[in-house]
Amino acid sequence: MRAYLARALLAALVALVAVDARAIVEIDEPAPPLRGTLLSGDRFDLAAYKGKVVLVNFYSSYCRHCALEIGSIETYRDDMKDRGFEVLVIAIDRAADKDRVAHALSTYNLQGAMAAELEESGFERTYPTPTAFVIDREGVVRAKLWGAKTLPRMRELMTPFLGK
C-alpha cells in the first residue's frame, strides 16, 4: 500500500511539473523553435525565416473565425510578400482531417503544417483558434493576436513591422 501511494504521489508530481512546463511564448523574446514538414511536403524551420516578418497562425478547418480571416491573410501576404512578409499556418485539426486542411490552405495558396506532426515546437500544440504570433525580422516575438483578422486590421497590425 505504501509503495502504491508513493507511485501515485510521484505520478501526480510529474503531471504537475508537466503542466507548469507548458510552452509559453513570451512577447519581446526570441521565437521558440518551430520546424517540420509542410502539407506540400517541403521542410520548414522558423529560424530560416530570419530577415522576414512571419505570421505564425494557429488555425482549424472547422473554425468559423478562421474561415473569415483566411482570405484577408492571403491578400495581405500577396500584397506584402515583396516587403518580406511570410505566413505559416499551423493546423490544430485531428490527423484524420489532414486532407481537409490541405484543401483549405491550397485554395488560399498558404503554407501550413499539422501541429501534431511538427518535429519541434516551442509553441503549444493547440490554441483557441485563430491565434497568431508576429515574429519580426530578427526572430523576436512581437505580438500575440486573438480572433479573426480583417484586411484593415492586418494592415494596422503588421505594416509597422514591415517598415523596419
Res 125: pLDDT: 76
Position 144 scores a pLDDT of 93
Res 17: pLDDT: 38
pLDDT at 25: 87
pTM of the predicted protein model = 0.84
Q: Which residues of the chain have pLDDT under 50?
A: 4-6, 8-21
Report the distance separating Cα 33 and Cα 135, nearest Å. 12
Domain boundary assignment for the chain: 25-162
**Could you confirm whether domain 25-162 is CATH 3.40.30.10?**
yes
List the grid coordinates of 72. Answer: 484577408
Whole-angstrom CA distances from 131 to 11, 43, 63, 127, 159 are 32, 23, 11, 6, 18
Angle between helices 151-162 and 64-80 (to 10 degrees): 40
Exposed e or buried b per residue across 126-145, where buried means at least 16 C-beta atoms within 10 angstroms of its C-beta: ebebbbbbbbbbeeebbbeb
Grid coordinates belonging to 145? 493576436
Which pLDDT belongs to residue 24? 82
Residue 100 host element (H or E): helix 98-107
pLDDT value of position 126: 78
User: Which three three-digit cell numbers place residue 155?
Assistant: 494592415
Q: What is the pLDDT of residues 28-60, one digit of tens each?
A: 999 999 999 999 999 999 999 999 999 999 999
